[in-house]
């Protein structure tokens, strides 16, 4: 099993790269998606978030109001740490279970937004960083998520810097041009991963 850590700042296009690797046969374990699942209505995770942050974090249908919670935690490192202390162990348990279900010869791609922040690079055989300039990412967040510029910049500021992410990269996938260029680079990277997996 070849373990790949895939990361990139918000708006970098990391999820697009993950989709393209999955289409080529990678087993993709998406930490963000799992982080959403562990706080769905009825879960112990959501109960713990409400106990920590209050009933005001719930929408009328009982689901977590991510935007409201995000507005609190991304402006306050202590509150972000409190949220992470609830969510990260639950995500870790689910990831371990999914990893155990993968074939021995699989290329397993862990989509991990906070890989650099949490110093997780040593956990992986290869770290791939999807890279784009901050201004490009701000523009994407405005276009695709309707995020105000100050909110986008606050999210970016709460994450590792571009240099911090690049410092842990074994492979960099630049993503400032178009999808054709991205596809070509992903194809190159996949061929490299297949070779590495065969050697392993």
Task: Break the chain into its structural domains and give their ranges.
Answer: 1-26+106-194, 39-105
pTM of the model: 0.79
Burial of 23 (0-12, 13-18, 19+ CB in 10 A): exposed
Burial of 153 (0-12, 13-18, 19+ CB in 10 A): middle
The CATH classification number of 1-26+106-194 equals 3.40.50.300
Other CB atoms within a 10 A radius of the CB of residue 93 amount to 11
**pLDDT tens for each residue of the chain, 200 residues long:** 999 999 999 999 999 999 999 999 999 999 888 999 999 999 999 999 999 999 999 999 999 999 999 999 988 999 999 999 999 999 989 988 998 999 989 999 999 888 999 999 999 999 999 999 999 999 999 999 999 999 999 999 989 999 999 999 999 999 998 899 999 999 999 999 999 999 98
Kind of pairing between the strands at 27-30 and 171-174: unpaired
- The CATH H-level superfamily of 39-105 is P-loop containing nucleotide triphosphate hydrolases (3.40.50.300)
Fold match between domain 1-26+106-194 and domain 39-105: yes
């Amino acid at each position: 099993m070849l373990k790949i850590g895939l990361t990139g700042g918000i708006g970098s296009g990391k999820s697009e790269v993950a989709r393209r690797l999955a289409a080529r046969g990678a087993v993709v374990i998406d930490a963000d998606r799992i982080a959403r699942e562990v706080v769905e209505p009825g879960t112990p995770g959501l109960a713990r978030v409400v106990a920590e942050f209050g009933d005001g974090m719930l929408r009328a249908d009982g689901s977590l109001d991510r935007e409201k919670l995000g507005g609190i935690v991304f402006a306050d490192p202590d509150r972000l740490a409190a949220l992470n202390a609830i969510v990260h162990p639950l995500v870790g348990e689910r990831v371990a279970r999914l990893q155990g279900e993968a074939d021995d010869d699989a290329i397993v791609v862990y989509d991990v937004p906070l890989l650099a922040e949490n110093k997780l690079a040593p956990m992986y055989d290869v770290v791939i960083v999807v890279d784009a300039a901050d201004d490009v990412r701000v523009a994407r967040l405005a276009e695709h998520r309707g995020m105000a510029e100050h909110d986008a910049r606050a999210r970016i500021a709460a994450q590792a810097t571009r240099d911090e992410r690049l410092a842990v990269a074994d492979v960099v996938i630049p993503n400032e041009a178009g999808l054709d260029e991205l596809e070509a680079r992903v194809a190159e990277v996949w061929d490299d991963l297949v070779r590495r997996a065969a050697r392993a």
